[in-house]
Structure 1
Amino acid sequence: MTTAQSETGRTVTTGIPARLDRLPWSRWHWSVVIGLGTVWILDGLEVTVVGNIAARLSEPGSGLPITSGQVTGIAAALYVAGACAGALFWGRLTDIWGRKKLFMITLAVYLGATALTAIAFDTWWFLLFRFLTGFGIGGEYAAINSAIDELIPAKYRGRVDLIINGSFWLGAVGGSLLSIVALDTDLFPADVGWRLTFALGAVLALVILLVRRHVPESPRWLLIHGRHEEAERIVGGIERRVETEKGEPLPHARGELTIRQRKSVTFTEIARTVFARYRRRSVLGFSLFIGQAFLYNAITFGFGAILTTFFDVPSGSTGYYFAVIALGNFLGPLLLGALFDTVGRRVMISGTYLLSGLLLFGTAWLFDRGSLSAATLTACWCAVLFFASAGASSAYLTVSEVFPMETRAMSIAFFYALGTAAGGISGPLLFADLTGTGEVGDTVLAFQIGAGLMCAAGLVAAFLAVKAERRSLEDIAQPLTAVPPRPTTADAARTGAAAGPEAGPGAPA
């Protein structure tokens, strides 16, 4: 690495991004996945537990004067509102303070809030700490996705990101089974069992916090923020560990990047980058988040009410059905994830969105005809969510890799907040009303709304998705601090006609 001084800061030429991308998969990468990716399990646990214990919380003797509608409607909307606010608040700090500092702080916020939810004594307390729990989780989305994408080699980035985001559903399986045990009054009193589910979430968060201490700061972030010596030490240490594990020297890293280091990027620069230079990518990100948020809300909010109202499934048994569809959700990213790195982003993103939307339209038609039982409806949901889960995970992957390094966390936070606010705040309120009426037509309408928006997002992806598979993050979107190489005469002749708002380094391929 070479350095030089300039009027606006130190200019650094480095091969750190290429060195990280050429690493073979190793035990060190598994430690990153375990330390950072497991938080999605907690999110899945949180959301599922609350949905499954709603009926118990509203019963006399639960210890809370709250209705089922307040749990599935207001509390769910507050959790999502907290996640949106947290994403924006912590996302900005993630780009300024660094990935590691924020993924430690946000997990601590989650831990404290969920522990305090366990001792709720009144409705306002329960609702407040549902908001604060979401506030911590929202920050996790920005900090974790940024760190994972900047530490995982380009060859594996798509599948790893999808599987990690899909691990939300492992938490959902655990939450479903845990709620069955917690709601068994032969084991726990009605006012104790539901509290233990939140307490367990806090214990798991503490364990993850201890593991996460060993995950380093992103060398890419350090490099841009004037801490290139620290970045060199971290990357050198990783390389030595991988070489020792593999028993052979690493291949030579090809490609260098020259950047002009700076401490921060202003909101004006972020807005100009996202909405002017990369406006097509912005449309893509917003569409993907809106589509998946509404589809999931159409199914998951009120799913218990659908089973109990239309198929007479006891409230204490709905967890078994949810565990089945949650497993289908996890299998989608697990089995399809590698195809996002081989077949490619555009085909797989548009395909999973369109297939899940069309399958949900089919489910709505069968439900309207009265052709489904509780078991066959669950099977239909599994088919829908197998594809939808891979698509939804790819939304996070997309917005975390198609914008420049300096705006990555804020971009994730922004699109997550906008898409989730539209689908995740209005969704629970809308779909709780539709699925709670007991009318078949209203539930069919809920399914059709989710399916229609998912299909629309799939069509947007078919035209606008970026060819990001197996490409370096710096190749997909050049850092704002990058110093462009001096073009040769041949380069100028070849690229002169390509000028446009998204032409040049980082433009969609």
Structure 2
Amino acid sequence: MAVTERKSPQGGGTVTTAVPARLDRLPWSRWHWMVVIGLGTVWILDGLEVTVVGNIAGRLSEQGSGLPISSAQVTGTAAALYVAGACAGALFFGRLTDRFGRKRLFMMTLAVYLGATALTAVSFSSWWFFLFRFLTGFGIGGEYAAINSAIDELIPSKYRGRVDIVINGSFWLGAIGGSLLSIVALNTDLFAANVGWRLTFALGVVLGLVILLVRRNVPESPRWLLIHGREQEAEQLVADIEGQVEAEKGRRLPAATQEMTIHQRESIGFATIARTVFSRYRRRAVLGFSLFIGQAFLYNAITFGFGAILTTFYDVPTSDTGYYFAFIAAGNFLGPLLLGKLFDTVGRRVMISSTYLLSGVLLFGTAWLFDRGALDAVTLTVSWCVVLFFASAGASSAYLTVSEVFPMETRAMAIAFFYAIGTAAGGISGPLVFADLTESGAVGDTVLAFQIGAGLMCAAGLVAAFLAVRAERRSLEEVARPLSAAG
């Protein structure tokens, strides 16, 4: 089906097209798996990065590590710089993604990550290590904006919720891998003290290069091409995808009858983006803010001091805390994996509100049992695992929500803004609030940390119950009409 083009009074072309509907009516195919592998696996790298750095902190501070740095500098200064880089990268690349396209930026952000991680592996001084931790975060933050917008615009509406939920939850696969990798790489019987930690970063580079090879085949978003005056490219791209799917399925695809008319434009000003997100879609902005802050503080209430809690209250050896972490990381991944489909069938409002509320209520229950002394190291970890089973699906739905409830022209910038809020809250405000509480050795302080995280999750769940958008199985254009749409 060809596009119909005419001159727009705004100066660009006016196009009537069925391209979005044609993308949404596609059945699941090998082409969609390529998109998921090429774009979605970056969350595994993020989980690997964060976990590895936490686990190698002790080794880096030892004599003979090849780096003059303390453990506190690794878990404090370097971690804060990684978070700051992620926030800055999300905002910087988010704006560029909306302006210059999804593909150009998701290639660029991966290149930044690869280069910064490789240079971290050859660190010879603390300032060098700090600089390239910041730049690694800068690339990862940009990935979140570019990747989430591209995935949502390429995945059919029938599958968009579950795919986005599982992809964001795959962070925890990387966390498991980082925990197990650190055990091997830090074994001085296998690798010298100044070599093993470098190999952990080198593995991240190798995985990133594999992703880069697959990502080269992922196309630009046809939706973005349409709005930016490249409708013939969008038309040809969708026709090629349809040809691949028809060849795989052995049948013709049904015709897409729903069309839309848009006024093309090269770019949209930042003031228009801000006005759209915070004025026209004020309720959705409140929703996004609530979801990101709730999940950020819950994760800090549990995970920031989990090692200190185990060692302080249950005398778990520091060398064994990684096994407990791998267990709760598995619960974090299983939640999105097993619950993801329900976000497309039961619906966004019910699932988002229920996962937030359930995880908050369960954490309140865990705090009560902890306060009574009814838990040991194993049962506390099991309790955390159950809480995070629901919380992880809820946290992933926060990314899904902000990537689909705002107009296409603002999508990447909206993702970047709310990601930066959540990351800053989790990486800066969270540790300031929870560090002393979870490490004080006082039961009441740790209970309070749990209760703060649980309370914010319950509050976000209640906000979602009233404000969540029924976006399941609906096209992105129906959920949030593009600013360029006619009428």
> Is 1:74–1:429's contact at 8 Å kept on the other side of the alignment?
no
> Is 1:225–1:263's contact at 8 Å kept on the other side of the alignment?
yes
| 2:316 paired residue number | 313
Task: Name the SS for the 2:15 alignment partner.
Answer: strand
Between the aligned residues of both structures, percent identity stands at 82
- 1:95 paired to 2:90: no
| 1:494 paired residue number | none
> Is 1:179–1:319's contact at 8 Å kept on the other side of the alignment?
no
The alignment of Structure 1 onto Structure 2 pairs a total of residues equal to: 484
Task: Return the alpha-carbon distance in structure 2 between the equivalents of residues 316 and 231 of structure 1.
Answer: 54
| 1:5 paired residue number | 7
Q: 2:430 aligns with which of 427, 437, 459?
A: 427
TM-fit CA distance, 1:3: 0.6
| 1:503 paired residue number | none
**Structure 1 letter corresponding to 2:102:** R
**Structure 1 letter corresponding to 2:267:** S
**Structure 2 letter corresponding to 1:154:** S
| 1:115 paired residue number | 118
Deviation track 1:363-413 (CA, whole Å, cap 9, x = no partner) reads: 222222222222111111110110010000000000000000100000100
Task: Return the alpha-carbon distance in structure 2 between the equivalents of residues 429 and 52 of structure 1.
Answer: 21
Q: 1:150 aligns with which of 148, 153, 164?
A: 153
Deviation track 1:198-225 (CA, whole Å, cap 9, x = no partner) reads: 1111111111111100000000000000
Task: Return the alpha-carbon distance in structure 1 between the equivalents of residues 82 and 366 of structure 2.
Answer: 28
| 1:128 paired residue number | 131
> Is 1:352–1:388's contact at 8 Å kept on the other side of the alignment?
yes
Q: 1:439–1:187: structure 2 CA closer, same or farther, 3 Å change rule? A: farther
TM-fit CA distance, 1:19: 0.1
Task: Name the SS for the 1:262 alignment partner.
Answer: coil
Q: 1:93–1:36: structure 2 CA closer, same or farther, 3 Å change rule? A: same
Task: Name the SS for the 1:226 alignment partner.
Answer: coil
> Is 1:72–1:428's contact at 8 Å kept on the other side of the alignment?
no
Q: 1:122–1:309: structure 2 CA closer, same or farther, 3 Å change rule? A: farther
Task: Return the alpha-carbon distance in structure 2 between the equivalents of residues 194 and 441 of structure 1.
Answer: 37
| 1:488 paired residue number | none
| 1:248 paired residue number | 251
**Structure 2 letter corresponding to 1:17:** P
Q: 2:329 aligns with which of 326, 330, 335?
A: 326
Task: Return the alpha-carbon distance in structure 1 between the equivalents of residues 483 and 242 of structure 2.
Answer: 27
Task: Return the alpha-carbon distance in structure 1 between the equivalents of residues 53 and 304 of structure 2.
Answer: 11
Task: Name the SS for the 1:13 alignment partner.
Answer: strand
**Structure 1 letter corresponding to 2:294:** G
- TM-score, length basis structure 1: 0.93
**Structure 1 letter corresponding to 2:335:** G
Task: Return the alpha-carbon distance in structure 2 between the equivalents of residues 428 and 236 of structure 1.
Answer: 50
Please list, as runs of the form range in 1=range in 2, the aligned pairs for 1:461-500 lying within 5 A after superposition: 461-484=464-487
Task: Name the SS for the 1:169 alignment partner.
Answer: helix
TM-fit CA distance, 1:348: 0.3
Q: 1:383–1:58: structure 2 CA closer, same or farther, 3 Å change rule? A: same
Task: Return the alpha-carbon distance in structure 1 between the equivalents of residues 435 and 206 of structure 2.
Answer: 31
Deviation track 1:212-268 (CA, whole Å, cap 9, x = no partner) reads: 000000000000000000001110000000000000000111210100000000011
Q: 1:213 aligns with which of 205, 212, 216?
A: 216
Task: Return the alpha-carbon distance in structure 1 between the equivalents of residues 294 and 189 of structure 2.
Answer: 42
- 1:179 paired to 2:182: yes
Greater shift, 412-421 or 33-42, is seen at 412-421
**Structure 2 letter corresponding to 1:481:** S
Please list, as runs of the form range in 1=range in 2, the aligned pairs for 1:448-467 lying within 5 A after superposition: 448-467=451-470
Q: 2:200 aligns with which of 173, 189, 197?
A: 197
Deviation track 1:136-175 (CA, whole Å, cap 9, x = no partner) reads: 0000000000000000000000000000111111111101
Deviation track 1:10-42 (CA, whole Å, cap 9, x = no partner) reads: 100000000000000001000000000000000
Aligned CA-pair RMSD? 1.3
Task: Return the alpha-carbon distance in structure 2 between the equivalents of residues 452 and 96 of structure 1.
Answer: 38
- 1:228 paired to 2:231: yes
Q: 1:191–1:302: structure 2 CA closer, same or farther, 3 Å change rule? A: farther
Task: Return the alpha-carbon distance in structure 2 between the equivalents of residues 366 and 73 of structure 1.
Answer: 31
**Structure 1 letter corresponding to 2:479:** I
> Is 1:2–1:14's contact at 8 Å kept on the other side of the alignment?
yes
TM-fit CA distance, 1:55: 2.7
Task: Name the SS for the 1:120 alignment partner.
Answer: coil
| 1:372 paired residue number | 375
Greater shift, 2-11 or 436-445, is seen at 436-445
> Is 1:52–1:318's contact at 8 Å kept on the other side of the alignment?
no
> Is 1:183–1:316's contact at 8 Å kept on the other side of the alignment?
no
| 1:16 paired residue number | 19
Task: Name the SS for the 1:388 alignment partner.
Answer: helix
Task: Return the alpha-carbon distance in structure 1 between the equivalents of residues 140 and 182 of structure 2.
Answer: 21
> Is 1:66–1:123's contact at 8 Å kept on the other side of the alignment?
yes
| 1:74 paired residue number | 77
Task: Return the alpha-carbon distance in structure 2 between the equivalents of residues 274 and 375 of structure 1.
Answer: 45
- 1:408 paired to 2:414: no
Task: Return the alpha-carbon distance in structure 1 between the equivalents of residues 390 and 456 of structure 2.
Answer: 15
Question: After the TM superposition, which segments of 4 or more aligned residues of structure 1 sit over 6 Å from their partners?
Answer: none
Q: 1:122–1:431: structure 2 CA closer, same or farther, 3 Å change rule? A: farther
> Is 1:284–1:465's contact at 8 Å kept on the other side of the alignment?
yes
Greater shift, 367-376 or 223-232, is seen at 367-376
TM-fit CA distance, 1:185: 2.1
| 2:440 paired residue number | 437
Q: 1:86 aligns with which of 89, 99, 110?
A: 89
Task: Return the alpha-carbon distance in structure 2 between the equivalents of residues 183 and 338 of structure 1.
Answer: 39
Task: Name the SS for the 1:197 alignment partner.
Answer: helix
Task: Return the alpha-carbon distance in structure 2 between the equivalents of residues 439 and 119 of structure 1.
Answer: 41
Greater shift, 463-472 or 305-314, is seen at 305-314
| 1:265 paired residue number | 268
TM-fit CA distance, 1:189: 2.4
Task: Return the alpha-carbon distance in structure 2 between the equivalents of residues 101 and 355 of structure 1.
Answer: 40
